Amino acid sequence: MPKFPILDKFAHGCINLRKENYNIPANDARAIANEYTKMLQHITQLQEKIIQLQDAQNNVIEVELDGDTF
């Protein structure tokens, strides 16, 4: 799983927030948005892989043997 250190830092700051507001610099906000976008892309790829695996599981592959030879 990819790491999202900026999102982790932001979440940690929000969880431990003692004030009514949480101010962040514009550069940090952009970095959070970029990591969030990457996380969504990763989640979408995982969902696609799950769908492919489920579809493959529903496909029955039939193999026939003719005597002792293939």
For the chain, give every domain's residue range.
5-57
Alpha-carbon gap, residue 28 to 33, rounded angstroms: 9
Angle at which helix 26-58 crosses helix 5-15, to 10 degrees, equals 110
**Per-10-residue mean pLDDT for the chain, 70 residues long?**
93 94 95 96 94 81 65
CB 24 within 8 A of CB 33: no
Instruction: Name the one residue in this structure whose structure tokens are 């952009």.
Output: 30
pLDDT of residue 1: 80
pLDDT of residue 65: 65
